[in-house]
Amino acid sequence: MSHLHLGLLFNSPGNDPAAPQRPSDLGYYAETTRLLERARFDFVMVADVAFQDRVHPQPPRPEPITLFSALAALTSHIGLVPTLSTSFTAPFNLARQVLSLDNLSAGRAAWNVVTSSAGADNFGDTPLPPHSERYRRALEHVEVVRKLWDSWEDDAIIQQPGQRPCADPARVHPIDHRGEFYQVAGPLNAARSPQGHPVLFQAGSSEDGKAFAAHFAEAIYTAQHHIPEARRFRDDVHAQARRLGRNPAHIKILPGLSTVIGESDAAARQLNERILEGFGSDIWAALKAQLGGIELGDLDLDRPLPLERLPEVLSIEGRQSRYALFRQFAVQQRWPLRQLLELQGGSAGHGRVVGSPEQVAGHIEQWFRQGASDGFIVMPGQGADGARLFAEQVVPILQKRGLFRRDYASDTLRGHLGLPIPHSRYAAPLERAIR
Amino acid sequence: MSHLHLGLLFNSPGNDPAAPQRPSDLGYYAETTRLLERARFDFVMVADVAFQDRVHPQPPRPEPITLFSALAALTSHIGLVPTLSTSFTAPFNLARQVLSLDNLSAGRAAWNVVTSSAGADNFGDTPLPPHSERYRRALEHVEVVRKLWDSWEDDAIIQQPGQRPCADPARVHPIDHRGEFYQVAGPLNAARSPQGHPVLFQAGSSEDGKAFAAHFAEAIYTAQHHIPEARRFRDDVHAQARRLGRNPAHIKILPGLSTVIGESDAAARQLNERILEGFGSDIWAALKAQLGGIELGDLDLDRPLPLERLPEVLSIEGRQSRYALFRQFAVQQRWPLRQLLELQGGSAGHGRVVGSPEQVAGHIEQWFRQGASDGFIVMPGQGADGARLFAEQVVPILQKRGLFRRDYASDTLRGHLGLPIPHSRYAAPLERAIR
């Protein structure tokens, strides 16, 4: 049996008591990343948004490209997964920066593709297109980026000792992309990396998002709460990818997992209560900002939501899959508003496990063995402490059970995840075949 | 007398026998930067373009933001100066990445502002606007970036021990910029750095460029070949800045200086011959690409250029100031084409000093004492070797003569350059006054 995969998503600073006052203070991120590298994690990841709430500003998240470039210099094996939006970036700039990160880290970079649901007013006068057009545009954006990543073949740069390096024109290719949304000539101004392309992650589990992921995603960050649903999600993505001619084994499904770890079950539960209490009333404002379209007004926190005021999922232009989850717990479980808010605030809508290191490891093993996921993206509910407890107490149990690597068997993120190296579409077919 | 300032411009890999085969290999850049930090340099810098020649591809330059973010993690004092174009970036993204680099490096970042003369076909269907409109647009771009950098005041993030950090809404400001070219709401999604704003560098010495620089530049990278002209240039920028209400002491004029250093004058001259021979016939193609509009056809390398075929300076849409220099040497000095090409290829149009360490130090001292510059941006003609020789043999002479610092007196790039910390335009006037 192959190993499961583990990544860590850094908390947004406003949710993390351990976060540094200056959100881009390198020390905090460097220490945590080195700790996770010693625990043989596959990767670290940051979420991102390209705006700041005007009324309730939050401590800004670190900017992903700069943060991970700095971390690349301080680590040797762990993968680096920045989140970047197709809506607010030019494909040429994005392709170049992510590929440069991949080169600086000797093949450890990925791009977590998101389409963004807010922030357009920081980029001109045009509002974001509707949900489905956003995905159509995103699909073309990703395609342009992949063409640019193919524009330099392997070995396109030639260097004799003592000579200035030069480029082999036969191995550098314009892309001349002319599509519905993008016109890009190429070639890219950056050469190929040791792992071929950066790995493509995708986040967002709506129907549009799932179809989008089936086209190109190599790892999917998704919110899943129950094994049967997670298996259905995984099967569905695999089936869609197969219809597109892709090998489902090359798509790793990695649900987010919020963790609260204590010495015992009881200690963990107590800690969880304290953490959730820490999310005061300001969480309501944050939730409204997160969900975009929804407007609920002044409601009693301790009673279930009046259902007639909850919009339908497909009418939401924001984060459809996150809202669908919220709505499901509101409608089917009749959770009081406070509990719904805790789901959003404590776990950002993701699954949550609260318990001893053995219980957390057991939860992970059960999901993995039952084919509900290929691993997890850990979202520690205790800031830096949570990352340390997971690395030092949960990982050794997973290793003992033969579920997780004891050492890196590869130097690249593709290697860690068992993903193939993509060949340049512009290389001669014979050369592609023998490589 | 205040000290002179020294920066280093990394060679483009295609001009540098020491450059690594993978242009973003960190080791080469990290070693050189640490060497220069030990020599107490003010900063390192990379030039940049956002395209790749389709017919004669060159080994790509490293991408500036990723390279310098990695170098930030490996250094503690030296300034980091990425070149980024106003033509191909959204002000919001640029402001955020450069400010994030500034935070990650604890106040050592700058932005070298360029407007770009090629590459538009990697960013859509619209060609670049004419030279003067490009500068008008660039001026607004820089203004938006500065507003965004002001959008978080000092101390806008509040953190009590053990609490999640939060933001003080009274110290975070939308910018609501609505200009001729840009509409940007803000606030930025990144907080203020220890030096207030990243330092603003400007490159390009045309009349448009000079007026542009007078508005905001705090350091100017310029091509100057003779002390009287350099003094005129400096006086002119100072006068324009004074008319705009700025203090000329806060604008550092830093000409590029290509250096070839040997044990003796004769050894240096021999080495220089070898270096120039190394730039073979391909330099002609590179020159044509650099100058954009100019088309000279097949000319005899060993004869002066037919003057009637040289276009007027103002008709050039590319790099006007570089072309002006080329034209001046062609017309006034009647240099043969080969020598003109060497000026372009060996020194990228900049001044060149060839000699022993004492001679190089003497050249620098003379320019500085005569008020022709506030220091230099060194462009070593011998790749990594040239940087090492400058750091180990020229710098000690400058230190002995009291011209250059023996230790850093500051932790920020503004501190090294003697530049004031800009206060947020959105802060209360009283608060601005007492800070």
Across the interface, do A69 and B74 touch by the CB < 8 Å criterion?
A: no
> Among A208-217, B28-37, B411-420, whose mean pLDDT is lowest?
A208-217
- Answer for the pair B101, B198: CB distance below 8 angstroms, yes or no: yes
- Answer for the pair A398, A361: CB distance below 8 angstroms, yes or no: yes
Q: Is A58 on the interface with B (CB under 8 A)?
A: yes
For residue B435, the model assigns a pLDDT of 46
pLDDT tens sequence across A266-300: 999 888 877 766 654 445 555 555 555 455 556 66
pLDDT at position B205 over 80: no
Give the helix/strand (H/E) hosting A238.
helix A227-243
For residue B249, the model assigns a pLDDT of 96
Q: Is A290 on the interface with B (CB under 8 A)?
A: no
Across the interface, do A166 and B59 touch by the CB < 8 Å criterion?
A: yes
For residue A417, the model assigns a pLDDT of 98
- Answer for the pair A175, A151: CB distance below 8 angstroms, yes or no: yes
Query: Is residue B197 a known part of a binding site?
Result: no
B333 CB contacts (<8 Å, ≥6 apart)? none
Q: Determine, yes or no, domain membership for B116.
A: yes
pLDDT tens sequence across A99-113: 999 999 999 999 999
Higher per-residue confidence, B435 vs B377: B377
Query: Is residue A205 a known part of a binding site?
Result: yes
Partners of A57 on chain B (C-beta within 8 Å) are 156, 167, 169, 172, 187
Across the interface, do A164 and B19 touch by the CB < 8 Å criterion?
A: yes
For residue B314, the model assigns a pLDDT of 63
Indicate which of A34, A86, A104, A183 best probes the interface with B, i.e. most B CBs within 10 Å of its own CB: A104
Across the interface, do B164 and A122 touch by the CB < 8 Å criterion?
A: no
pLDDT tens sequence across B83-111: 999 999 999 999 999 999 999 999 999 99
- Answer for the pair B217, B251: CB distance below 8 angstroms, yes or no: yes
Q: Determine, yes or no, domain membership for A24.
A: yes
The fraction of chain B above a pLDDT of 90, given in percent, is 62
Q: Determine, yes or no, domain membership for B416.
A: yes
Give the helix/strand (H/E) hosting A246.
none
Across the interface, do A163 and B17 touch by the CB < 8 Å criterion?
A: yes
Query: Is residue B135 a known part of a binding site?
Result: yes
A274 and A127 in a common domain: no
Q: Determine, yes or no, domain membership for B376.
A: yes
* Cα–Cα distance, A165 to B62 (Å, whole number): 14
For residue A97, the model assigns a pLDDT of 98
Q: Is B187 on the interface with A (CB under 8 A)?
A: yes
* CA distances, B66 to each of A67, A70, A198, A336, B45 (Å): 9, 8, 15, 46, 13
Average pLDDT in the A70-74 region?
98
Partners of A56 on chain B (C-beta within 8 Å) are 169
Q: Is B33 on the interface with A (CB under 8 A)?
A: no
- Eight-class DSSP state of B332: T
CA–CA min distance A51, chain B (Å): 6
Q: Determine, yes or no, domain membership for A206.
A: yes
* A-B contacts at Cβ under 8 angstroms: 229
Partners of B23 on chain A (C-beta within 8 Å) are 103, 157, 165, 190-191
Give the helix/strand (H/E) hosting B427.
none
B236 and B166 in a common domain: yes
CA–CA min distance A61, chain B (Å): 7
**Which among A71, A82, A81, A4 is positioned nearest to A40, based on CA atoms?**
A4
Across the interface, do B51 and A103 touch by the CB < 8 Å criterion?
A: no
pLDDT tens sequence across A377-403: 999 987 778 999 999 999 999 999 999
Indicate which of B122, B160, B173 best probes the interface with A, i.e. most A CBs within 10 Å of its own CB: B122
CA–CA min distance A426, chain B (Å): 14
Q: Is A34 on the interface with B (CB under 8 A)?
A: no
pLDDT tens sequence across B169-204: 999 999 999 999 999 999 999 999 999 999 999 987
Task: Please state, rounded to an integer, the average pLDDT across all residues of chain B.
Answer: 87
Higher per-residue confidence, B289 vs A205: A205
> Among A235-249, A335-349, A384-398, whose mean pLDDT is lowest?
A335-349
- Answer for the pair A37, A29: CB distance below 8 angstroms, yes or no: no
Q: Is B281 on the interface with A (CB under 8 A)?
A: no
- Answer for the pair A283, A273: CB distance below 8 angstroms, yes or no: no
pLDDT at position A18 over 80: no
Q: Determine, yes or no, domain membership for A265.
A: no
* Cα–Cα distance, B24 to B26 (Å, whole number): 6
B301 and B173 in a common domain: no
Task: Please state, rounded to an integer, the average pLDDT across all residues of chain A.
Answer: 87
Across the interface, do A190 and B63 touch by the CB < 8 Å criterion?
A: yes
The fraction of chain B above a pLDDT of 70, given in percent, is 83
- Eight-class DSSP state of A109: B
* CATH code for position B225: 3.20.20.30
Query: Is residue A105 a known part of a binding site?
Result: no
Query: Is residue B205 a known part of a binding site?
Result: yes
* Cα–Cα distance, B408 to B38 (Å, whole number): 10
At which of B346, B361, B386 does a domain end? B346
Across the interface, do A104 and B166 touch by the CB < 8 Å criterion?
A: no
CA–CA min distance A428, chain B (Å): 18
- The minimal CB distance from B19 to the residues A104, A165, A278 is found for A165
Q: Is B247 on the interface with A (CB under 8 A)?
A: no
Across the interface, do A184 and B122 touch by the CB < 8 Å criterion?
A: yes
The fraction of chain A above a pLDDT of 70, given in percent, is 84
Partners of B66 on chain A (C-beta within 8 Å) are 65-66, 69, 97, 100-101, 104
CA–CA min distance A292, chain B (Å): 17
Partners of A164 on chain B (C-beta within 8 Å) are 13-17, 19, 278
Written as one letter, the residue type at B356 is S
For residue B292, the model assigns a pLDDT of 52
A155 and A192 in a common domain: yes
At which of B299, B315, B346 does a domain end? B346
Average pLDDT in the B323-333 region?
73
As given in the structure block, the two tokens for residue A339 are 């509990």
* Domains identified in chain A, total number: 2
User: Which structural domain, as residue segments, surrounds residue A304?
Assistant: 270-346
Q: Is A172 on the interface with B (CB under 8 A)?
A: yes
> Among A259-263, B311-315, B404-408, B416-420, whose mean pLDDT is lowest?
B311-315
Confidence band of B116 (pLDDT split at 50, 70, 90): confident
Q: Is B179 on the interface with A (CB under 8 A)?
A: no
B251 and B180 in a common domain: yes
* Cα–Cα distance, B164 to B268 (Å, whole number): 60
The backbone region for A208, taken as left when phi is positive above 0, alpha when psi lies in -120 to 50, beta otherwise, is alpha
A277 and A419 in a common domain: no
Across the interface, do A63 and B123 touch by the CB < 8 Å criterion?
A: no
Q: Determine, yes or no, domain membership for A364.
A: yes
Query: Is residue A135 a known part of a binding site?
Result: yes
B92 and B25 in a common domain: yes
B409 and B339 in a common domain: no
Partners of A72 on chain B (C-beta within 8 Å) are 26, 70
For residue B280, the model assigns a pLDDT of 46
For residue B217, the model assigns a pLDDT of 96
Average pLDDT in the B21-25 region?
67
B184 and B53 in a common domain: yes
pLDDT at position A12 over 90: no
Using a 10 angstrom Cβ sphere, with 0-12 exposed, 13-18 middle and 19 or more buried, the burial of residue B126 is exposed
Confidence band of B58 (pLDDT split at 50, 70, 90): confident
B321 and B307 in a common domain: yes
CA–CA min distance B259, chain A (Å): 18
pLDDT at position B144 over 50: yes
Q: Determine, yes or no, domain membership for B265.
A: no
Q: Is B124 on the interface with A (CB under 8 A)?
A: yes
- Answer for the pair B390, B358: CB distance below 8 angstroms, yes or no: no
Confidence band of B361 (pLDDT split at 50, 70, 90): very high
CA–CA min distance B373, chain A (Å): 31
Across the interface, do B121 and A185 touch by the CB < 8 Å criterion?
A: yes
Confidence band of B281 (pLDDT split at 50, 70, 90): very low
* Cα–Cα distance, A80 to A46 (Å, whole number): 9
For residue B287, the model assigns a pLDDT of 57
B277 and B190 in a common domain: no
A360 and A211 in a common domain: yes
CA A236 from chain center: how many Å?
Answer: 19
Among A11-15, A55-59, B295-299, top mean pLDDT goes to A55-59
> Among A207-211, A230-234, B159-163, B252-256, whose mean pLDDT is lowest?
B159-163
* Cα–Cα distance, B423 to B435 (Å, whole number): 8
- The minimal CB distance from A164 to the residues B17, B63, B185 is found for B17
Indicate which of B164, B183, B275 best probes the interface with A, i.e. most A CBs within 10 Å of its own CB: B164
pLDDT at position A320 over 70: no
- The minimal CB distance from A21 to the residues B72, B96, B159 is found for B159
Q: Is A31 on the interface with B (CB under 8 A)?
A: no
pLDDT at position A59 over 90: no
- Answer for the pair B323, B313: CB distance below 8 angstroms, yes or no: yes
At which of A317, A346, A375 does a domain end? A346
